[in-house]
Chain A
Amino acid sequence: MSNVRVLVGTRKGAFILTSDGKRKNWDVSGPHFGGWEIYHMKGSTADPNRLYASQSTGWHGQVLQRSNDGGKSWEPVSNKFAYDGVPGTHQWYDGTPHPWEFKRVWHLEPSATDPDMVYAGVEDAALFQSTDGGQNWNELSGLRGHGSGPSWQPGAGGMCLHTIVVDPSDPQRIFIAISAAGVFRSTDAGKTWKPINQGLRSQYIPNPEAEVGHCVHRIAMHHSRPDVLFMQKHWDVMRTDNSGDSWQEISGNLPTDFGFVIDVHAHEPETIYVVPIKSDSEHYPPDGQLRVYRSRTGGNDWEPLTNGLPQSNCFVNVLRDAMAIDLLDSCGVYFGTTGGQVYASADAGDTWNAIVRDLPPVLSVEVQTLT
Chain B
Amino acid sequence: MIRVVLPAHLRTLARVTDEVTLEVDAPPTLRSALDALEAAYPMLRGTIRDQVTQQRRPFVRFFACEEDLSHDSPDTPLPAAVAAGTEPLLVVGAIAGG
Contacts and interface: CB of A to CB of B under 8 A. Distances in A.
A35 B10 CA distance: 11
B47 A63 contact: yes
A60 B44 CA distance: 9
A58 B59 contact: yes
B52 A61 contact: no
A147 interface: no
Nearest to B10: A60
Q: How large is the interface on B (under 10, 10 to 19, 20 to 34, 35 or more residues)?
A: 20 to 34
A76 interface: yes
A79 interface: yes
A76 B57 CA distance: 19
Interface of B: 7-10, 12-13, 42-43, 45-48, 50-52, 57, 59-60, 93-94, 96
Nearest to B53: A101
Nearest to A83: B52
B48 A60 contact: yes
A61 B45 contact: no
> What is the interface of chain B mostly: helix, strand, loop, or mixed?
loop
Contacts of B57: 59-61
Q: How large is the interface on A (under 10, 10 to 19, 20 to 34, 35 or more residues)?
A: 10 to 19
Contact of A63 (B7, B43, B50): B43
Given A60-B9, A63-B47, 14 more contacts: A34-B12, A57-B9, A58-B59, A60-B48, A60-B57, A61-B46, A61-B47, A62-B46, A76-B42, A76-B43, A79-B45, A80-B51, A82-B51, A102-B52
24 contacts: A34-B12, A58-B59, A58-B96, A59-B7, A59-B57, A59-B93, A59-B94, A59-B96, A60-B10, A60-B48, A60-B60, A61-B46, A61-B47, A61-B57, A63-B46, A63-B47, A76-B13, A76-B43, A79-B45, A79-B46, A79-B51, A80-B45, A82-B51, A82-B52
B51 A63 contact: no
